[in-house]
């Protein structure tokens, strides 16, 4: 019985390891925000032209048409 359980756990772990890691990037949706509150919750935006830029909040990031999506938190240095 232990052998069967061990094999089942092995296959379950192998299947999990084979799955792609989901991206934590949040995509900006249309319509884009026109007005944002003055909240400071840094967001690291991914630009459509490539690269990253830090914004004061996710709302401010998505208000910029040059932004494709963002990650919560400041951009890595």
Instruction: Evaluate if pTM is beyond 0.75.
Output: no
Q: pLDDT of 3-12, one tens digit each?
A: 433 444 344 4
Domain residue spans in the chain?
A: 22-77
Q: pLDDT of 20-55, one tens digit each?
A: 444 689 999 999 999 999 999 999 999 999 999 999
28 half-sphere exposure, CB direction, 13 A CA radius: 25
How far apart, in whole angstroms, are the C-alpha atoms of residue 58 and residue 25? 11
Cβ-Cβ contacts under 8 Å for 4 (sequence gap 6 or more): none
47 half-sphere exposure, CB direction, 13 A CA radius: 9
């Amino acid at each position: 019985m232990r052998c069967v359980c061990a094999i089942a756990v092995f296959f379950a772990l192998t299947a999990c390891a084979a799955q792609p890691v989901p991206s934590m990037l949040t995509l900006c949706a249309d319509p884009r925000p026109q007005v944002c509150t003055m909240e400071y919750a840094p967001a690291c935006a991914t630009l459509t032209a490539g690269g990253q830029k830090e914004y004061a909040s996710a709302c401010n990031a998505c208000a910029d048409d040059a932004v494709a999506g963002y990650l919560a938190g400041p951009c890595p240095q």
